[in-house]
Amino acid sequence: MIAIKNYISGGLVEPKTQNYLEVINPATGEVIARAPDSGPEDAAAAVKSAQDAFEAWAKTPTEARAKILHNIANLIDLHREELAKLEALDSGKPYSLAYEKEIPRAAQNFRYFASAISTGQSECFPMGEQGFNYVLRPALGPVVCISPWNLPLYLFSWKIAPALAAGCTVIGKPSELTPLTAFKLSEICKEAGLPPGVLNIVHGYGAKIGEALTRNPAIKAISFTGGTETGKKIMGGLRNTFLPVSLELGGKNPALVFKDCDLELTVNELIRASFTNSGQICLCASRLYIEEPIYEAFKSLFLTKTKMLSVGDPFHTETSLGPLISKEHRLKVKGFVDRAEQNQCSLLLDGRSTMSAMQDGFYFGPTIIEGAALEDPINQQEIFGPVVTLASFKDFNEAMSLANGTPYGLSATVWTKDLSTAHRAAHQLDAGIVWINSWMVRDLRTPFGGMKASGLGREGGNEALKFFTETKNIFATF
Ligand code: TXE
């Protein structure tokens, strides 16, 4: 049984509450670890530790900060296998996905921002004889980084790395469902030479310590990734503050498949986009709109290839889909499919069938639904599971009104060989990220985030560094 502790002031400490929560392996339903069920006092201690460490860290030369972040990245690479195993153990994701994609990306997050501050340019605006302006970007102070369970280390590091690079000190709050790699990161940061208090990690229920973290007056910014409802709760508590908040929330991402697309490539990529991590990625495609002339051909090929996916043990190399994160989440996903069936939608593929076959794990197979109206909850709400709806469209305008017809605006994909169609669609889609004939191709320099109910602000590249800093323009005469 792994005994997880909080990481505060450079040490691993028990929660002041002396309470613990159980960490479950979603593939077996067994308890594999216990983590602190921290309370407001633990949160306050972490904030105080970050506050005490801030001045020295903000004054640390960028080269020295960058060197420590590179050390962290190198240690993540060194512990890649162990981290991938831990990630698969408490999230249920296929080990191969963690080992090949997510853990290397966590290292890249630290490496990217270490390089960004080493090569970053400052701005100067000379005004001839009058004098000159220059811009400073000082670190904000202690910040809170709250991350979800779907891509644990990937998203935790995606927030922490730019915050540390910018010179902020951090209180990290990973999801209570997937604390294992965050715990290992504590050890890695200590070994990498990160000074005590620069990074603090508090484990526990967000509902219990979230407010103690986000409403602490010493906190200078909040970076959150998670559900839209939680994002609303966090914003609600900040009504009378001017605190910078970054919210990366849910999505209901459409795919627009035009009749001139490369059908085989499109089907293969949309299977990846729909079912990677069992659909538990905010960027996953969940509404597939196909131009009428190729609807039947697309449906048949998509169905045939989806049936070839294997649902099973995250540690088996042939596994495409592991279990969902929890029993409760699987019930939520099942509820959407049950209601779609009651609404006379047709279930071309029914993932509920795997539930009985592997009763100990929270398994749920790929599910393809046809005949759901745009206003049906299954097309309006984020399911966050391996469930997609198929529908056809007659022309470009109908495609756009279907795609933009939900409260979300995170990502979208467009599949066509026609340049004009591709760019007209990309420009008109309500989405912060649009991929043309591709999915999940990521460049860390680009702005990342959504519009409408999908969030507030952007992460990645200079957007992330600017979020964690103030901007000061100074003018001086000669
Ligand atoms: O998110 P939560 P969960 C969506 C997806 C999923 C739903 C819930 O639809 O089904 O969100 O997932 C902490 N103050 N996405 O349960 O509850 C919590 O402890 C402060 C999309 O993971 O929002 C955890 O660390 N913090 C998303 C983090 O917030 C609070 C990825 C996320 O928890 C809090 C994940 C509070 N009041 C889920 N309540 C994406 N965009 O990728 C909870 N937390």
Residues 133 and 288: their CA atoms lie apart, in Å, by 51
Is a pLDDT exceeding 80 seen at residue 359? no
- The pLDDT assigned to 240 comes to 86
150 lines ligand 1 (CB under 6 A): yes
Amino acid at 188: I
CA of 148 to the centre of ligand 1 (A): 5
Q: Is 203 in the pocket of ligand 1 (CB under 6 A)?
A: no
Please identify, by atom number, the ligand 1 atom nearest to the C-alpha of residue 248.
Answer: 41
To the nearest whole number, what is the mean pLDDT of the chain?
97
Query: Distance, CA 230 to ligand 1 centroid (Å)?
Result: 6
What mean pLDDT comes out for the span 391-414? 98
269 lines ligand 1 (CB under 6 A): no
Do 192 and 263 lie in one domain? The reply is no
Environment class of residue 178 by beta-carbon count within 10 Å: exposed (0-12), middle (13-18) or buried (19+)? buried
CB distance 207 to ligand 1 below 6 Å: yes
234 CB under 6 A from ligand 1?
yes
Q: Do 117 and 234 fall into the same domain?
A: yes
Q: Is the CB of 146 under 6 A from ligand 1?
A: yes
Question: CB-based contacts of 382: which residues, under 8 Å, 6+ apart?
Answer: 227, 228, 250, 251, 252, 282, 286, 408
Helix (H, G, I), strand (E, B) or coil at 93: coil
The answer to whether residue 382 is catalytic is no
Residue 176 lies in a domain: yes
Name the active-site residue from 168, 282, 284, 345. Answer: 282
Counting atoms of ligand 1 from 1, which one is nearest the CA of 175?
Answer: 25
> Is the pLDDT at 357 greater than 80, yes or no?
no
Which tens digit of pLDDT belongs to each residue from 463-475?
Answer: 999 999 999 999 9
215 in a structural domain: yes
Please say whether the beta carbons of 13 and 5 come within 8 A.
Answer: yes
- CATH number for position 349: 3.40.309.10
225 lines ligand 1 (CB under 6 A): yes
Residues 232 and 323 in one domain: no
Residue 220 counted as domain residue: yes
At 137 the pLDDT is 97
How far is Cα 287 from Cα 176, in angstroms, rounded to an integer? Answer: 30
Residue nearest to atom 41 of ligand 1 (CA): 249
Considering the entire predicted model, what is its pTM?
A: 0.97
pLDDT over 90 percentage in the chain: 97
Cα 420 to ligand 1 centre (Å) = 38
Q: Is the CB of 148 under 6 A from ligand 1?
A: yes
102 ligand 1 Cβ < 6 A:
no
Mean pLDDT of 160-170: 98
pLDDT at residue 120, as a whole number: 87
Where does the pLDDT of residue 344 fall: very low under 50, low under 70, confident under 90, or very high at 90 and above? very high
Q: Is residue 278 part of a domain?
A: yes
- Structural domain containing residue 351: 253-443
229, 264: one domain: no
Taking only the tens place, the pLDDT of each residue in 194-250 is 999 999 999 999 999 999 999 999 999 999 999 999 999 999 999 889 999 999 999
Tally of CB atoms within 10 A around 440:
17
CA dihedral sign of residues 92, 94, 96, 100? negative
Question: What is the pLDDT averaged over residues 420-426?
Answer: 98
Region 62-88 average pLDDT: 98
CA of 280 to the centre of ligand 1 (A): 12
pLDDT tier at 327, thresholds 50, 70, 90: very high
Kindly give the number of the ligand 1 atom that is closest to the alpha carbon of 233: 37
248 flagged as catalytic: yes
Per the structure, how many domains does the chain have?
2
Any ligand 1 atom below 6 A from CB of 248: yes
Packing angle of the helix pair 103-119, 152-166 (nearest 10 deg): 10
CA of 475 to the centre of ligand 1 (A): 43
449 located within any domain: no
Cα-to-centroid distance, 123 and ligand 1 (Å)? 37
Residues 293 and 393 in one domain: yes
User: In terms of domains, do 76 and 130 share one?
Assistant: yes
Q: What is the pLDDT of residue 229?
A: 95
In-domain check, residue 459: yes
- The answer on pLDDT for 92 being more than 80 is yes
Task: Round to whole Å and give the CA distance between 292 and 296.
Answer: 8
Best residue among 42, 175, 233, 245 to mutate for probing ligand 1, ranked by most atoms within 8 Å of CB: 175
Looking at the fold, whether 413 and 463 belong to one and the same domain comes out as no
Asked whether residue 115 is assigned to any structural domain, the reply reads yes
Residue 448 lies in a domain: no
CA of 181 to the centre of ligand 1 (A): 17
Q: Check residue 358 and give its pLDDT.
A: 74
| The pLDDT of residue 355 | 86
Same-domain status, 346 and 393: yes
Phi-psi region of 460 (alpha: psi -120 to 50; beta: other; left: phi over 0): left
Same domain assignment for residues 244 and 261: no
Nearest residue CA, atom 44 of ligand 1? 206
Question: Could you tell me if the CB of 230 is within 6 A of ligand 1?
Answer: yes
Report the chain's C-alpha Rg in angstroms: 23
Q: Tell me: do 241 and 268 sit in the same domain.
A: no
d(CA 249, CA 445): 20
Residues 240 and 318 in one domain: no
Distance CA 309, CA 22 (A): 31
* pLDDT band (50, 70, 90) for residue 356: confident
Residues 1-23: tens digit of each pLDDT? 999 999 999 999 999 999 999 99
- Start-to-end C-alpha separation, the chain: 67
Can you give the CATH number for the domain in which 8 is found?
Answer: 3.40.605.10
From the candidates 176, 248, 291, 459, give the one annotated as an active-site residue.
248
Residues 217 and 259 in one domain: no
